[in-house]
Each structure stands twice: as C-alpha cells, then as structure tokens.
Structure 1
Amino acid sequence: MLKLEDFQAAKKRVDEVIMETKLIHSEAFSDECGNDVYIKPENLQKTGAFKIRGAYNKIVKLDDEAKKRGLIASSAGNHAQGVAYAAKKLGVKATICMPAHTPLIKVEATKAHGADVVLYGDVYDEAYAKACELQEKEGYTFVHPFDDEDVMEGQGTIALEILDELPDADAILVPIGGGGLISGIACAAKAINPNVKIIGVEPEGAASALAAIQEDQITLLKEVNTIADGTAVKQIGAKTFEYIKKYVDEIVLVDDYELMEAFLLLVEKHKLVAEGSGILSLAGLKKLKFKGKKVVSLISGGNIDVMTISSMINKGLISRGRIFTFSVQLPDMPGQLEKVSHILNQCNANVVGVEHNQFKNFARFSEVELRVTCETNGESHIKTITDAFDKEGYTITRIN
C-alpha cells in the first residue's frame, strides 16, 4: 500500500502542472444536508478535471524507453485530456481510446492537446479492451485511468490539499468510477488523520464498487446506465478494490434526478458548472446519516457540453419543483382561460406556456383540455396552486 511520503513526493511533481483549487464554503449545500459543507472544485483544473494529477504523476515517472514507445490510454473523457496534456508537456506521443458516444467537448479537447483519438465501443470497458488490443499490437506503454498506484498517488494529492486547508474535516465525499480517485484520497487522508471518514458516491446505474464490496470480489455489472458518463464503469480495478476495502468507510448511491438537482443548485448558488460524474459527491450529501459535521465534497470534473447543460438545468428545475406543468379539463365556453389565469395570478405563478386544445383528450364532448407550464418556487408552491384550483372546482393533473 502507498504511504504518506509517496503522496508528498507526488505533490511536488504535480504542482508543476496543476491549478490551485481552494475550498469553497457552501451555505446552500450546508442548508440542504444539515452539515457544514465545503466544495473542492477540481472542475477548475487546467484540463477541467482532477485526472491531470494522476496522469502527469504516472507519465513523468516513466523511464525514457517507456516514453519512447508512445502512450496508450482508455478513457470516458477526463483521463484522456489528462494524459494528452501531460504527454504534450513531456514531449511524448499519445493515443487515446474513448467510447463512441463520449461528449464531443471531451473528444475535441483531447485532440487539441495533440493526442490521436480512437472512438470505440458504447462504454468505457469496451474502449479499454480496444486500448489493450492496440497496446499489444503497437507496443505502446499503457497509462491506466485508475488501476495503477502511480495514478492513485497523483489523485491522492487532493487529500493533502484538503486536510492542509481544513485539518478538522470530519468527512470527505468522493465520486467513484473505477476507484482510482477514492483509493488515492482515502489512503492519503487516513495516513494524515485516521479518523476522517471517506465516503464514496456512485450512480445507481453504475454501482460497480458497491457490488464488489457486497460480493467481496470484483464484480462485472451486466450493464451501466447513468448520466454520469465519466463513472459509467462496469467493473472497478483489482488494485482499487483492495484500497476501497481497507480505507473507504461507506458507499452511497444517487440517482440521475438527484444529480440534476445538485447540478442546478451548484449553478444557481455558486455559478459553477460540473459534469454528471463531477457532482456525485454533492448529490450524495443528502444521503449522509450524520448532521453538524464538517464535510468536503469533491467536484471531480466540469467537462460538459452546452446541450447537456441545457438539459440538466431544465430537468433539474422540474425535479426541484421550479417548473410545473399541468393539464385541466375546462367547460367549452368563453371566460374559462380568464378564470385559470386569475387563479394562477393569485398564487403568484408565472405562466411560461399554454396549450388550449379543443380536439383531444377531453373527458366529455362539452370539455376542452388546457395545458399550462409555469414557474414555481418548489413543491409547497405547487401544492398551493393545486389546492387553489381544487377550491374553485377544477381538478388538475400534474404532467411534470
């Protein structure tokens, strides 16, 4: 197992290339979960994610022969950029295998750093298999995204920074994909303070670490399905499994809607943008079983395309009760729209969309359907609107 001095040595190496990401205190997330929350914004790194740490630490330690053969890596996006950036800085050729559906922003950023990109497979594991095939064929040096102690060593430098800035932190929440990030952080943090709790957060649709812990062996998931594409890994690493077993105190799961809600709150309250996998630890705050503790949530990455940002915001608004769409059956006679408008005005609901349809979805011949979308201030506001319509004799059906 890695020791504290290994992480300290890695810190000196990665300091050559990383940005300083100071902790941000979050009143918004503190109020949400009842703990004192600090954010570690690794989405602000040069490559948009923490991965530059492990990739650079690994590559800079390679001997000249290994570098001369060129590098091969597999990645869902952020490790690709880390390897490409480090390789360019150190003058080494790099080829990266990425899943075919990797967000374009990650593919283009990787190419911009000078790496050759091979798009292959639907998920990370298939891209990894392709990278192994190319390694064997071309003799490249493999830079694993997580199951490598040099990589873990680099990622663990985050723990040194957190505990240097907040030495009395009670818990650190860390996203889990393949397990390299949490392995490094957990090992380094426990070496400094054995009492700090390390809590991993996985998406429900790709909970390979939790499955491994429950089965007490590395487990291959049949499929993965999550908006957190950077952590869509069917199987954690053999090395990371041992570190997680030894150093991680708990693993919690979050669903995609919880991720979208956390995304919206982060954008709205902190003006920070993160990708789905990057906000796992923020979504996981609501799953904590304790209150009143100092908690650090690591935002692992921020490489997200604009279309996905738009979708996340819209769905997050719906999930948090900030957008309310409903239908109501109205008598087919003049004045009904005015009555609906009056009720909504009395409830301080801002209407953003109306569809009045006389030709479908009516319960009786003499009725028409009205669909309304309005801005609301949460579930209590939606209940106020529903009750107001009920009081006036209208039954509304929530659509989203």
Structure 2
Amino acid sequence: MTDAFPTLDDIRTAASRIEGAIVDTPMKRSRLLSERTGADLWLKFENLQHTGAYKERGALNKLLQLTPGQAARGVVTASAGNHAQAVAYHARRLGIPATIVMPEPTPTVKVVQTEGHGARVVLHGQMVDDAFERAYQLEAEEGLAFVHPFDDAAVIAGQGSLALEMLAATPDLDTLVVPIGGGGLISGIALAAKAIRPEIEVVGVEAKLYPSMKNVIEGGNGPIGGDTLAEGIAVKYPGKLTREIIRSHVDRIELVEERDLERAVALLVGIEKTVVEGAGAAGVAAILAQPERYAGRKVATVLCGGNIDTHLLANVLVRELVRCGRIARLRIAAADRPGALAAITACFHASGVNIIEVQHHRIFTALPAKDTVIEVEAEARDAAAIDALVTRLERGGFDVTRAALD
C-alpha cells in the first residue's frame, strides 16, 4: 500500500488482518435519541475498545505491516491521547519497542497509562506540534518506524474497518456522521462506505473552536484555538492525504458548539448509560443541534472514544443539570434579622426543593448595611419546581435573581 487512497480491498484486508485483536463493538439503535431527533439513530460504541477508542484499528493495521527489521528497531509516534495508548498497547502485544513523544503539559495520568502499556515516553515541547518535531528527529536518529495518528494509508485503512462493521450490522443506513480531527477516521469510513453504497451521505463534524478541516476544504478562515471539551479532535493542521479523501468523499462538514458537546456527553450517560469523551460525542452533538437535517433518515454515528477525565465528566453532568433547570443558584436579598433565613428555608421546604449549599454575603454587596444576600444552591426534581420556588419567595417579599451558566 502506498500513500494513494486505500481501496475497498485494502480496507477489507485490514479488517481481516486485525480481526480478533480488535473488539467488534456493538452497533445499537438508540430509541430515546431517535425520538428526540426524529431520525432512526444508531450508535457504534467504539468507546468499548480495549484502550477506550477506535485508534487501535489503524495503529494495529500499521504495526502488522512492518518488516521484521522495522519491528525489531521499534516504532515512534507523537500523541497526547488515544493514539498514544493504541500504539503502546498493541506494540507491547506484538513485542515491538514503542516510543511515544508527548507534550510536557500532558496530564500525568495519560503519561502513566501510556508507560503502563510498556512504551518509552518522551516529554517534549508545549504542544503536539512540538512533540511531532521531536518524534521525527527520533525516527531519523534511531531508525524507528513512524506511526502517524491519521495521515497514513495503512492507518486510514484500519479505521475504515469501522464502516464495514457498521454497514454489515445496518445495511440500509442513509447517513453516517463522523467526528473529524486529523481526518483519519472519516477518511477510512468514507472510502469504505461510498464504495459499498455510493448514495450514502457522509457528514463530518468538528468542534467550532477547531474548524481546521472545514477551513481547508471550503477555503474558510475560521479562527482556530481554545479550550474545547473535544480535545481529541482539536487539531490545528489536518492531514494532507486525509484532506484529499475528505474533499472527494465527504458530503459536508458541520461545526458544533461547546454547549452541544456537553449536552451530548451528558445525554449519552443518562440515556445510553455509556461514558463518552467530548470528541466521541461530537456526532451525537451535531445531530441534536440540527435534528431537522436528519429527521426521517436512518443515521449512524461513531462514539469514537470514552477516555474523559472523571472530574471533567462530573462537571459536565452537573452543568447539564443546571441547563435543564434541576440545579439552580439563587441570590436572595433579605433583611439581616432573626427569622429571615427560617422564612427562606420554609419556602424551599414548601416547594419540595433541596438546599445543597448556603452562603451569606454581608460585606461585598450593594445592599444597605442592614440587609444581606443569601446565596443558595439548590436541586429540584425539575425546572418547574424551581420556578414555583422563586414565585413563592417573591410573594414572601424577597428579591430573587438566578445565576446564569452561560
């Protein structure tokens, strides 16, 4: 295989090559998400791979095509995320020495996990681009084989095995919605899907903060950068091979807002009882953001990874409760005299709303010195209960304002 587009035969060969070492992950219809969107929505659970992401497919296909000499010398790559663990995990299985270059700010837990798979980790630079530069130096200095995260025909062919499984499970799909970072996943899926069913629609999804592939394909100049929940697809410079495949095989690219990514992650936990990282939820986020574009169609998307920090996941879930109106922070102005707090808590009790936290503000407030601000964080069964509480407090003579999330 060269750097030309992988063919359907290449992808089928890759699928056979990696069979047994990769999980044939479930492909399931989501009844509740289908009802919400009006589409017949199917999910491919790649978050259930050994290392929690689809990256194993392409990495393993590449590793299995190394010559004996290359395998003996070892491989090198640059990654701060799922690709690092995929290469490390399968290289150890195959007895291939692996070096992973990661940016210096990479969270310790990711470094430890990658080292836990037996890889040598080299920390270099502040960004993934810096890590790539060092990885290419090591490739030349030590004679290592480079395993690119996305811009490699063998890697793309391995990722394309996903489409074979999806269409085997659900042959009559109308649309595939696939996250885009560097473009390896959607390139493999689009090549396979369009070869099997030329009429199928393939839609790419990027985080709005990182529209790098959309800029390249459509000639745009959308700003790139920022803290996105979908760090797995936060790529500034998409692949050269992948961009050409996407240009010819992908029908359109959508951008998703951060709040839509958060909503999708939270819904997948609540509805599907599955943990998905921001990048893995990008397809669901795009469908939920524009349901009219998918209504009445048989649609599938890939939950391409589930490696999200637990503290971040907790924040996402709580923020979604705030957006749904089940958690609220109320600022209640009251006279600073005995009985005021009791009157306020009585309103909470009567409304069936639970108090999570209470704070008094007597100094840093514009109210008169004899008054106070009582800030209450509360949880209710639904948004209507919070609305009823606010009405009850206002009827009791209290001035109430709600803290906004965004």
Distance of 2:385 and 2:125 partners within structure 1 = 45
Select which of 360, 364, 368 maps to 1:360.
364
Percent identical: 39
For the aligned residues, what is the CA RMSD? 2.2
TM-fit CA distance, 1:42 = 0.6
TM-fit CA distance, 1:376 = 3.5
Number of the residue aligned with 2:179: 175
250-259 vs 170-179, greater mean Cα deviation: 250-259
Number of the residue aligned with 2:243: 241
Number of the residue aligned with 1:265: 267
TM-fit CA distance, 1:140 = 1.2
Superposed, which structure 2 residues align to 1:102-251 within 5 Å? 102-215=106-219, 223-251=225-253
314-323 vs 19-28, greater mean Cα deviation: 314-323
Distance of 2:6 and 2:271 partners within structure 1 = 38
**Preserved CA contact (<8 Å) 2:157 2:188:** yes
SS at the partner of 1:359?
coil
**Preserved CA contact (<8 Å) 1:124 1:232:** no
- Counterpart of 2:65, as a letter, is K
TM-fit CA distance, 1:155 = 0.4
TM-fit CA distance, 1:220 = 10
Cα pair distance change 1:314/1:327, threshold 3 Å: same
Residue by residue over 1:114-153, the C-alpha shift from the partner in whole angstroms, topping out at 9 and shown as x without a partner, is 1111122333222212211221222211110000111010
Residue by residue over 1:203-239, the C-alpha shift from the partner in whole angstroms, topping out at 9 and shown as x without a partner, is 12222111112217xx896634312222221110000
Distance of 2:195 and 2:64 partners within structure 1 = 24
TM-fit CA distance, 1:103 = 3.5
Select which of 49, 53, 73 maps to 1:49.
53
Superposed, which structure 2 residues align to 1:303-322 within 5 Å? 303-322=307-326
Select which of 289, 296, 302 maps to 1:298.
302
- Ranges in structure 2 where 5+ consecutive residues have no aligned partner: none
Cα pair distance change 1:122/1:282, threshold 3 Å: farther
SS at the partner of 1:156?
helix
Distance of 1:119 and 1:252 partners within structure 2 = 34
Select which of 362, 379, 391 maps to 1:375.
379
Select which of 45, 49, 60 maps to 2:64.
60
Distance of 2:238 and 2:55 partners within structure 1 = 17
Select which of 273, 276, 293 maps to 1:274.
276
285-294 vs 171-180, greater mean Cα deviation: 285-294
TM-score in terms of structure 1 length: 0.92
TM-score in terms of structure 2 length: 0.91
**Preserved CA contact (<8 Å) 1:78 1:106:** no
TM-fit CA distance, 1:57 = 0.4
